Amino acid sequence: MKKGIKKPIYQNNKEIFLASSLCSYSISHLQYKDKIRFYYALKGRDGSSGLLPASGIKQLAKSVLLINKQQEKQVNDFLKFWKCKTKFLKISSPSTSPNSILISYKISHLQYKDKIRFYYALKGRDGSSGILANKKLIQLAKTALLVPLELDSEFQDFLRHWNCKFSRIKVRLENE
């Protein structure tokens, strides 16, 4: 592998289906120092192991984790300790056909004014009139969405319009 190129977080869809949940969380309530402490506890620091390396949990986006049944309590306790808002979505086995696409994208290439325009197109100026509101998309994190299978190509076109790099994973969400 060339220097500077990172290995993908997830190798294939088998890892996704082996998991039982997607967990999204919010740390917006934390002050700056506490956010730093949170990330050290999550990822580790200076050789000390954090939650992710110690348990083998996959991080799909900045605030989206892929966890299995045995890790759910550990993750839930960790996020409760930090008083994070959480959302768990169940994923079913690989024998079932996918009904959604997990899309994570990057907007770091956009200038500030274009990022604002992107979010207006995504959420609308009023927070409820953008592409998210008009479609049945679920926002898991700032740059991670669950898109119904039938809207996949439309949302890919939206991201291509903005020249965003993105990755897609097919998943099957269980009805809650």
| Integer Cα distance of 36 and 111 in angstroms | 26
Mean pLDDT for the stretch of residues 141-147 = 89
Helix (H, G, I), strand (E, B) or coil at 1: coil
pLDDT, residue 4, reads 36
What is the average pLDDT value for the chain, to the nearest integer? Answer: 83
Structure tokens at 68: 């299995």
- Predicted confidence (pLDDT) per residue in 89-115, tens digit: 888 755 568 888 889 899 999 999 999
Both tokens of residue 76? 């839930």
For the chain, report the end-to-end CA distance as a whole number of angstroms: 41
> Going along the chain, which residue ranges are E strands?
21-26, 44-45, 48-49, 58-61, 64-67, 85-90, 100-106, 138-141, 144-148, 165-171
- Fold held by 13-90: Alpha-Beta Plaits (3.30.70)
Q: For residue 8, is pLDDT > 70?
A: no
54-75 pLDDT, tens per residue?
Answer: 888 888 888 999 888 888 899 9
Strand-strand pairing, 44-45 and 144-148? unpaired
Confidence of residue 159 (pLDDT cuts 50, 70, 90): very high
How many CB atoms sit inside 10 A of residue 57's CB?
A: 20
State what percent of residues in the chain have pLDDT above 90. Answer: 38
Burial of 30 (0-12, 13-18, 19+ CB in 10 A): middle
Task: Give 24-58 pLDDT, tens digit per residue.
Answer: 999 999 999 999 999 999 999 877 788 998 888 88
What is the biggest distance separating any 2 CA atoms in the chain, rounded to whole angstroms?
46
The per-residue pLDDT for 11 is 43
Length of the chain: 176
Report the pLDDT averaged over residues 120-141: 82
Calpha distance 173→32 (Å, rounded):
34
The pLDDT-based confidence of 6 (bands split at 50, 70, 90) is very low
pLDDT at position 19 is: 57
User: Span 129-158, mean pLDDT?
Assistant: 86
The pLDDT, as a whole number, for residue 20 is: 77
